[in-house]
Chains A and B, each alone.
Chain A
């Protein structure tokens, strides 16, 4: 029984993280009275949404292999947010249209990334590093006000805020109506569909995939486009939640999203990873940050703790699999 349990922990990343999460909940509940209240648990979920969408994007992109990575994902978020902000807030475009255009902007950024990666076959790191500069710069440029300085936009129509600020029985709207359905859908796509098969095949070996008549280019292109759309959607949720569109909204989110994907068991070499794992990693990190903050630990040590967990869980995994995965 115990052996089976430990073996499952060794081979199944999501389960490992789940067990870790339970442990963390118990510990935090003991030392912080506010932590395990229903209010807090539900309230913190919204802080996992935007970064979670980006982490899903990175998961798919990293699985596609060949050094697949998207360093521009945060910049796409910034640019999409600015498009929504400038259209709705400065040019008076209808907010629904502005939002759709914002998400489409994200998708287009993904198209550009995907085009260079899959059709010109330029290494993803270089493509997305370059477009990171470009999208950041574009976000700054369209944010410029009449004084010549890039400034945030914050005069959205009131109705816009329900996406990021509304709650139902304390459950944030964006969690129940956007994030969870999307996570389920992506999980379905990756693990159950032919596209998921193609993606895993491509990530495992592009050559073998090509020889197996997998539409390798189309698959790679598609994940970058999906990534762009997810970033656009995250931009919409975030601008609505904080009621402000800023050209630096996505700054620093790339590495966080990648970290979450990696913690969730996505193999940086491609071909391996799951939405469920990434989801568990998002939950772990969101709960961790929340607990540490409530415990009054300086935010500086939040990242430090994350580092310890990352390495620690890898070591735990190695020990577990040495002991339990080879015996039948």
Chain B
């Protein structure tokens, strides 16, 4: 039974396509499968991966969050401003992450408590927060961040970069959470049928609130990683970030209509894109054709998945 499920899953398809790509890239370039390069790819995935934990839950509930990038932007601004205004590094980081949580909770209040559709709330927040980030920065970028503030991006534990640790730990915990904690299950329940969940005695407002607030927290962590890695806070940090996160999530098998999906799938989705864009540079494929190849491969791997499960419904 379980085996049948795994074989049918999008996760497996995406995983297999990725393995295929990895084999192909390693055969074409001996520099691909090196510790260094694997680290590069994982680092590249980390911020998107952490954010996709929150996004996956949101999309499973049948919602969407296009304000992820803007929240990340405000997190970066807060962190940068705090650090350059004499706050200790650890406090700046925590402050940044808490701002993420707070903004997630604002989304959550509008959506869960007032019942405004998520697309409207998050589109609105996206626009509004962009303007705020710009205003807080006074249009000026923050460079030369003190080294300690960049710990979330540059730090290492046991010689493994902190962002990679964070990604692995968070993904592992929340995968467990989604399967074994009642709250995790309620998230699926809400996405399958809000009415059924309500009638089964699930406090649906609480679940929705939790999901959007938690996503904010994840964007906060992702923001601290991005600032740490880039070392610069731009007025438009996080631009287009939401699209990458949504893409990874949906590519990994989470249904945009809600009700199904896994966090592992989303990580695989973001890895697939990262492996591709890294591999194409290693093969020195002309830059302008990159989009063409990425687009065709994404479409192709999902088409395989759809055809594989033909005749199911």
Contact = CB atoms under 8 A, between A and B. Distances in A.
A and B touch in the complex (CB under 8 A): yes
Interface of A: 66-67, 71, 116, 120-123, 125-127, 129-134, 136-138, 140-141, 144, 150, 255, 258-259, 262, 267-268, 300-301, 303-311, 314-315, 318
A150 B256 CA distance: 35
Contacts of A262: 119-120, 123
Interface in B185-205: none
A131 B128 contact: no
Interface residues of B, number: 45
Interface stretch (B159-167, B172-180, B294-302): B294-302
A315 B121 CA distance: 10
Contact of B298 (A130, A306, A310, A318): A130
A299 to B, nearest CB: 10
* 4 tightest Cβ-Cβ pairs between the two chains A and B: A304-B131, A307-B127, A137-B291, A133-B295
Given A67-B257, A314-B117, A304 B128 contact: yes
Given A120-B303, A255-B66, A126 B251 contact: yes
Interface stretch (B75-83, B89-97, B108-116, B221-229): B108-116
A318 B113 CA distance: 12
A125 B298 CA distance: 12
B124 interface: yes
B289 to A, nearest CB: 6
Nearest to A313: B120
A141 B246 contact: no
Given A123-B250, A125-B250, A304-B132, A134 B296 contact: yes
Nearest to B256: A67
A131 B295 contact: yes
Nearest to A69: B256
Given A130-B295, A131-B299, A140-B288, 15 more contacts: A67-B255, A126-B299, A130-B299, A133-B294, A134-B299, A137-B292, A138-B292, A259-B127, A268-B117, A268-B119, A300-B135, A309-B124, A311-B125, A314-B116, A318-B115
- Report whether over half of chain B's contact residues are helix, strand or loop; otherwise say mixed: helix
Most chain B C-beta atoms within 10 Å of own C-beta, residue among A144, A262, A267 = A262
Contacts of B114: 315, 318
26 contacts: A116-B303, A123-B256, A126-B250, A126-B299, A129-B243, A129-B298, A130-B294, A133-B298, A134-B292, A137-B288, A137-B295, A141-B292, A267-B117, A300-B134, A301-B135, A304-B130, A304-B131, A306-B124, A307-B124, A307-B126, A307-B127, A307-B129, A311-B110, A311-B120, A314-B120, A314-B124
Contact of B291 (A125, A133, A258, A308): A133
B289 A311 contact: no
Contacts of B129: 307
Contact of B302 (A122, A133, A144): A122
Classify the secondary structure of A's interface with B: helix
Contacts of A300: 130-131, 134-135, 139
B193 to A, nearest CB: 14
B306 interface: yes
Counting chain A CB atoms within 10 Å of each CB, the highest count among B116, B139, B255 belongs to B116
A311 B124 contact: yes
A214 to B, nearest CB: 17
A111 to B, nearest CB: 14
